[in-house]
Structure 1
């Protein structure tokens, strides 16, 4: 669970005394739901949301010129009540909540002016920082944006929902021995015993940590890995399918190309992958990928198809909230979407072949991006079996960011557009 029981009770007590205890912020109430934090650099504000409901607010101070706080999608990687900076002269950073391993964090400060003044971190008033520290857990998402953005409810067929398992067939029910009522019987008879008909169905929502998902364009690594796996199926030996085009992979590609009367250059290209797909009757190669993490570690990845490959996806964040009363079997839930501004550099657009920019202010921007995605049933089923309260999905053109690594969720750094 994203919220622990101990945190709920302390948050409720803090909420009752919010108007006098905080002064610099506002806490509206306790919640058992997964939360997220949104920091606005333009407004110099921090807002805690339960879905689209405001739970707590405060003013903050972000990075000054030359030390700008990065914008994007982060999560809390580490918490420490007493911490000192290992970058800036051992400066105290009480109630520190780390967002990147490169030095960005939320923390308390005795100096929180209503303008950017930090070295990149998000400074909070002491009392509010202490309160927030008690509301959060590792993995809680933090979105940082230039403009003020809001999470909104979203319903779309592509978004994952937990599925209730069908009741067992009589042939699948455990056989239990019982005494026979027939006079001639001397051996126990095994009878299929199901659960009582009036027993309430259990929720289909899995317990355990939430999953983190990232959908983005497929890169050279994924294309190479795909080619390696198909070459193995065809009887060639490219070595370990690791997405690295080493000498063994080059030799295997060249051998395949010779067998097909193609120039044996040994290179992984879109044309090669298309040929491999046709050879194995796999249809059209996917141009996107979905990656799944849990507990800050990779779980699996799979191909995904993105329509309109010339158009940017934009950057969208979705968070799942379970709903025990969503239907009769207790499964289902709600998704909340937040769209961030992301002005892609020309180099990234050229590499991805994008000619149309995304518009974060367009009506239903997140839903329009979801309309372009298609995923095979096997991958969908695999994800829906893992889906838990607080699970999240990021869709972005940025790929697997450099801040994403060991001990992190997916970290997406967005790019600021022109001011005006």
Structure 2
């Protein structure tokens, strides 16, 4: 099939434009990041920004970052980089708003999925970050400052923002805002994608889960002063929150791991020495056994020789010997000299005195060698046992450290009316799940996200915000906004139909959770924790590990 010159020209122009755009986006992003890196005095290009750099960005003024944010936005201060942020993306308005416990932090235009590639709506989490990502779906297209929210290919990243949906499902961000957002957010923070604009509100209810304060004994605080185990000063037997308790557990695990590692090193050397000494003792025992066997063989040979000599002396020989002795005695009595007679046959038998002495000596040496070898073998066995115990303790401390680090991550809880279960995750991995009851199950709950945004002044309770995802479609919301902007005197939303979703407060009241489940949640609950109450089941985006609790709404 022939292609016209005009069509070929358009294709070439499109390719050139795509290449120029990719280069310009990457160059701009790299330039912005280089400026930010230079300002921070950092040369790290790893996947995650270092803690110091992130802290600097969170503490720094957003106005000086050079990012193109929506003008006229009243920004909240970001003074504590440990407190969580969360994002709300409005499909209808094509913009993203970033919030913290004080309210709106920043806002920017975005571009979401076009027709046929709609961006999924629901509650998601930042589960991966990559500063210089290339798409593995769309021919390696550059996606700087990529922050992944699903493993099926949805992420926030730098891209063209034309003012309308234009992506293949991702949330495109302006380059400057993407770089700024990269410095603010971290893995585990929530992203709400809503059909229309929704604003989080502060929410107070005695039905919200409350953190359990822990009493720490003095023994639990006796951890070494290391960078890994640095903790806020806590007096003995004082109350600490679950995050501080997790830090204590981590410090304890680090100390136990270090002690076990030292023991492993010492006992490994002891085992090597013990192996050499046991081998030497075994060789000495083997030589003693051989010497004793030789002495025993000699003794047996001598005994057999004695038996042979005794059996060879017959009665007639004994009589002639006796006669010869009597004759000799007579001659001596007559004064005649007598030549020395041959030795008696029983005087020629091999003597056993030396053989018996040798056997006794080798037996004593064998007993000593056996005792020494057994002692060395016991020492080696004890060293091996201690080495195995230390290795097991090291493994247990390593697992305890990992679990403590996981307990320092935000807790995620999902109550699904569809599944009739409550799911609990932390550190992007399951903790447990349990049955749950929902009163008046025929009435929808809606989808509500409750976020523990900060600690109260008392230090033992939490501040909460809630975002409720609306059920009206984006098209209905656009029509409402168009009529409102046209200058109509009064524009009212249609009345709530029967069976419409509950409010955030009503939804919380309808959930019945067992006390033991409440207690298990309370032990891990602190700032950054989130609770989702939804009619929907757990999304297929939630996998065994590396994902958070996610729900999609229609």
TM range (shorter): 0.5 to 0.7
Compared with structure 1, are the counterparts of its residues 312 and 324 closer, same or farther at alpha carbon in structure 2 (3 Å cutoff)?
A: closer
1:405 to 526, 543, 553: 543
**Compared with structure 1, are the counterparts of its residues 401 and 167 closer, same or farther at alpha carbon in structure 2 (3 Å cutoff)?**
closer
Per-residue CA deviation, residues 344-375 of structure 1 (Å, 9 max, x unaligned), is: 9xxxxxxxxxx964337xxxx10011111122
Compare 21-30 and 40-49 and name the one that shifted more.
21-30
2:229 maps to which residue?
none
CA RMSD of aligned residues (A): 2.7
Bigger Rg, structure 1 or 2: 2
Distance in 1, matches of 2:190 and 2:153, equals: 17
State yes or no: 1:17 paired with 2:64: yes
Tell me what 1:358 maps to: 500
Quote how far apart the aligned CAs of 1:41 are.
0.9
Q: Which runs of 5+ in 2 are unaligned?
A: 1-49, 220-234, 247-407, 474-496
1:71 Cα deviation after fit: 0.7
Contact 1:341–1:414 (CA under 8 A) maintained in structure 2 = no
The correspondence for 2:413, drawn from 195, 213, 234, is 213
Residues 79-228 of structure 1 mapped to structure 2, 5 A cutoff: 79-109=129-159, 111-165=160-214, 201-206=238-243, 207=246, 208-217=408-417, 219=419
Judge conservation of contact 2:450–2:466 (CA < 8 Å) in 1.
yes
Separation in structure 1 between the aligned mates of residue 498 and residue 431 of structure 2, nearest angstrom: 32
- Residue pairs, 1:328-343, within 5 angstroms: 330-342=459-471
Report if aligned partners of 2:462, 2:526 keep a CA contact under 8 Å in 1.
no
Tell me which residue corresponds to 1:49.
Answer: 99
Deviation at 1:14, TM superposition (A): 4.5
Partners of 2:456 and 2:463 within 8 A in 1: no
Counterpart in 2 of 1:29? 77
Instruction: Tell me the SS of whatever aligns to 1:83.
Output: strand
| 1:129/1:301 CA distance change after superposition, 3 Å | same
Any idea what SS the aligned residue of 1:81 has? strand
Partners of 2:135 and 2:530 lie apart in 1 by 30
Given the superposition, is the C-alpha separation of residues 199 and 128 from structure 1 closer, same or farther in structure 2, using an over 3 Å criterion? same
How far apart, in 2, do the equivalents of 1:29 and 1:371 lie?
Answer: 33
Distance 1:167 1:200 in 2: 5
The alpha-carbon distance between structure 1 residues 290 and 5, as it changes in their structure 2 partners (threshold 3 A), is farther
- In structure 1, stretches of 5+ residues that fail to align are 175-197, 220-287, 345-354, 416-420
Q: Aligned to 2:54, what secondary structure does the other structure show? A: helix
Alpha-carbon separation, structure 2, partners of 1:14 and 1:118: 30
| CA distance, structure 2, for counterparts of residue 218 and residue 120 of structure 1 | 26
- In structure 1, C-alpha distance between the alignment counterparts of 2:68 and 2:511, rounded to whole Å: 46
- The answer to whether the 8 Å contact 1:319/1:392 transfers is yes
Q: 1:166 to 1:82 in 2, by over 3 A?
A: closer
**Any conservation in 2 of the 1:145–1:340 contact (CA below 8 Å)?**
yes
Decide whether aligned partners of structure 1 residues 203 and 314 sit closer, same or farther in structure 2, where only a CA change above 3 A counts.
same
Whether the 8 Å CA contact 1:62–1:68 is kept in 2: the answer is yes
Residues 378 and 11 of structure 1, relative CA distance in 2, 3 Å threshold: closer
Does the 8 Å CA contact 1:11/1:131 hold for their aligned counterparts?
Answer: no
State the TM-score, normalized to the length of structure 1. 0.66
* Number of equivalenced pairs: 300
1:136, distance to aligned residue in structure 2 (A): 1.1
Counterparts of residues 314-353 of structure 1 (less than 5 Å): 314-323=446-455, 325-326=457-458, 330-342=459-471
Mapped to 1, the partners of 2:242 and 2:456 lie a distance apart of: 9
Normalized against structure 2, the TM-score is what? 0.51
More helix by share: 2
Tell me if the contact between 1:59 and 1:114 (Cα under 8 Å) persists in the aligned partners. yes
Shift in alpha-carbon separation, 1:359–1:325, aligned structure 2, 3 A: same
Alignment correspondent of 2:526: 388
Q: Give per-residue Cα distances to partners, 1:185-215, cap 9 Å, x unaligned.
A: xxxxxxxxxxxxx979443343411210010
Distance 1:366 1:4, change over 3 A: farther
The alpha-carbon deviation at position 128 of structure 1 amounts to 0.7
SS at match of 1:38: strand
Asked whether the equivalents of residues 52 and 152 of structure 1 are also in contact (C-alpha less than 8 Å), the reply is no
**Native 8 Å contact 1:289 1:303 kept in 2:** yes
Q: Secondary structure at the match of 1:62?
A: coil
Q: Which has the higher strand share?
A: 1
Quote how far apart the aligned CAs of 1:301 are: 1.0
Distance 1:401 1:160 in 2: 23
- Shift of the 129–158 alpha-carbon distance from structure 1 to 2, 3 Å rule, reads same
Q: How far is the alpha carbon of 1:400 from its aligned partner?
A: 1.4
Cα distance, 1:323–1:28 mapped onto 2, change above 3 Å: closer
* CA displacement at 1:165 relative to structure 2: 4.1
